[in-house]
A and B are shown apart, each in its own frame.
Chain A
C-alpha cells in the first residue's frame, strides 16, 4: 500500500493516549478553574479541576510507559533552554504538582473554607494547563521533516480540541442521572463549545488544505486512505458535527441531559480520533537527492 509508506511508526498508541488525556485533562481543568472564579466551590469547578488533574496524571503514566528508559525521565528537565520536549516536561511537572495541591485542598475543604490564595492557584493552573495542551503541538510543529506535523496550525488545533473535549467531559458528567447540579449550569459552556467547534472546523480545513499543497499523499491518507474512517466518522462526525447539532438543540430548548451526554461522549471520541490521525499521519517526507525523492525507511 503506497500510503502506508507515509505512516509514522516511532510513536504508537501510548503517545496517542497521552496526547488525548493530557488535552482532555488540561481542558477540563481550565473549564473548572474559570468556573471557580465566579463560584469557587461549585460542582463544576471542583469536578473540572480534580478530574482534569487526574486525567493529565493518567496520561503522563502512558507517556512514561512509552519511554525506553522510564527511570531516566528526570533527565528530561535538563534542557529547558532549547528543547520544547524539556519545556513541556517542566510544564507538565508544575501542572501536576499545583494541580494535585489544588485538588487536595478542594477535596478536604469544607464549604467556604478554601484558602485565600486559591484564586492564584486556580489562575496559575489555567496558564499551566494551556501550556500542557499546547507544548506537544509546538514540538511536533517544529519537526521539519514531517509535513503533517510541521504546521503552525497544530498547536492551535490541540488547544481548541483540549478545551472542547474538556467541556464535553464535564457536560457528560453533569448529565449523568442522579447528579444534583442542574443541567442549565452548563449552558454557558455549551455555548462556548459551539464556538470552539466552529473554530476547530475552520482550523481542520486550513490544516488539511495548507498541507495538501506540500504533502498531498499524507492528506489523501487522511481523507481517503487508511485514516479516512477515524477522520470522517470520528473527528468530523462524532467529534464535531453531531455535538454541534446536539448542543444547538440544547441551547434552543430542545435539549435534554441525554442529548448532553451523547454530545459529550461524541466530543471525547473525536478528540481521541484527532490525536490518532495526527500521530499516525506524521510520516517523514521523502529525502531529496538532487531532483530525486528517496523515501528513507527507518524510524518511519
Chain B
C-alpha cells in the first residue's frame, strides 16, 4: 500500500495561486472554502524586502490531531495515509477545525454559490459537499484512485495526479508514494532541502516543503498583510 505525500518547492513557487484555482475547479468547493490556498507574507526590512508565498492545504498528517479529537469517527486516516472526512458521519461539531494546527479544515455552513443562482457546474459539483459538515483537501483521492484503477502512476500520469500538482505552472509541486524510496517525492524529502511546517510538532505532516534557498529574517506585520 502506498503512502501518499506531497512536496512543494518554495524556490519555484511564484505565488500565482494556480493550485488554489485548480483545486477549486477540480473539487467544486463553495465560496469561502479553499482547500488549497496560498498565504503570503512580507519579510525583511525596507529596502531589502521580499514577499514570500506559502501554499497550504491539509498536510495529511501521520498522527492527525483532527482524527484524535473527532467524536464520530467521520475523520479517518485511510491505509494509504489520506486523511478524509466521511460526510455521512460528520455532525459538524468543528472540534477538528479547532484541533488542526495548520488551518486546513472548513465548516460548510450554508449552500450558496458564487453568483445569484447556482451555475450548472455548481449544481453538479456541490453535490459532494454536505451542508453542516466539515470539509478539506482529500489529496484528490477519487482522482488518484480512478487513475490507479486505470493502471496509471500517481505523480507521474496527469490523470492520476492531484489537480494542484499537475496544474502548477512552475512545476513546483510533486506527488507520489513516500514509501517508495525511488519516487520523486522520496528523493526530494531526502535531498536535505525538505522541511515540514511547525518543526518538531508530533503530527508529522506528509506534505513537505523545499526551502526557497535564500534566508531573510522574518519581519513585517504578524497578520501577513
A-B contact count (CB 8 A): 161
Beta-carbon contact of B39 and A83 below 8 Å = no
Q: Evaluate whether A288 and B69 lie within 8 angstroms (CB atoms) in the complex, with A68-B109, A298-B106 already known.
A: no
Q: Is A299 an interface residue (CB 8 A)?
A: yes
Scan A222-265; emit 1 where CB is below 8 A from any B CB, else 0: 00000000000000000000000000000000000000000000
Beta-carbon contact of A75 and B74 below 8 Å = yes
Q: Which of A143, A217, A300 has the most CB of B within 10 A?
A: A143
Contact partner of A292 (CB less than 8 A), chosen from B52, B72, B99, B223, is B52
Partner-contacting stretch, out of A40-48, A84-92, A95-103, A117-125 = A84-92
Contact partner of B224 (CB less than 8 A), chosen from A75, A89, A295, A298, is A295
Beta-carbon contact of A144 and B201 below 8 Å = yes
In angstroms, Cα B75 to Cα A253, docked, is 58
In angstroms, Cα B43 to Cα A66, docked, is 39
Beta-carbon contact of A299 and B100 below 8 Å = yes
Contact partner of B103 (CB less than 8 A), chosen from A2, A5, A85, A296, is A296
Q: Is B25 an interface residue (CB 8 A)?
A: no
In angstroms, Cα B90 to Cα A90, docked, is 17
Beta-carbon contact of A292 and B218 below 8 Å = yes
Contact partner of B98 (CB less than 8 A), chosen from A82, A83, A289, A299, is A299
Beta-carbon contact of A75 and B103 below 8 Å = no
A residues contacting the other copy or chain, number (CB 8 A): 49
Scan A108-144; emit 1 where CB is below 8 A from any B CB, else 0: 0000000000000000000000000000000100111
Which residue from chain A places its CB closest to the CB of B130 in the assembled complex?
Answer: A69
Contact partner of A294 (CB less than 8 A), chosen from B97, B98, B224, is B224
Partner-contacting stretch, out of A31-39, A175-183, A279-287 = A279-287
Residues of B within 8 A of A191 (CB): none
Q: Is B60 an interface residue (CB 8 A)?
A: no
Q: Is A72 an interface residue (CB 8 A)?
A: yes
Q: Is A67 an interface residue (CB 8 A)?
A: yes
Q: Evaluate whether A291 and B217 lie within 8 angstroms (CB atoms) in the complex, with A5-B223, A10-B97, A144-B201 already known.
A: yes
Q: Is B174 an interface residue (CB 8 A)?
A: no
Q: Is A73 an interface residue (CB 8 A)?
A: yes
Task: Give the interface size bracket for B toward A.
Answer: 35 or more
Q: Is B126 an interface residue (CB 8 A)?
A: no
Beta-carbon contact of B224 and A73 below 8 Å = no
In angstroms, Cα B57 to Cα A299, docked, is 13
Beta-carbon contact of B56 and A287 below 8 Å = yes
For chain B residues 153-204, which have a beta carbon within 8 Å of chain A? 195, 197-199, 201-203
Q: Is A293 an interface residue (CB 8 A)?
A: yes
Beta-carbon contact of A296 and B52 below 8 Å = no
Residues of B within 8 A of A85 (CB): 69-71, 93, 95
In angstroms, Cα B131 to Cα A67, docked, is 11
In angstroms, Cα B35 to Cα A299, docked, is 12
- A-B contacts besides A69-B132, A287-B102, A292-B54, 12 pairs, CB < 8 Å: A2-B221, A68-B132, A79-B71, A83-B68, A83-B69, A142-B69, A143-B98, A287-B103, A291-B215, A296-B39, A296-B56, A299-B94
A residues adjacent to B (C-beta < 8 A): 2, 5, 8, 10-11, 66-70, 72-73, 75-79, 82-86, 88-89, 139, 142-146, 217, 282, 284-300
B residues adjacent to A (C-beta < 8 A): 10, 34, 37, 39, 41, 43, 52, 54, 56, 65, 67-74, 89-95, 97-109, 131-134, 195, 197-199, 201-203, 209, 211, 215, 217-218, 221-224
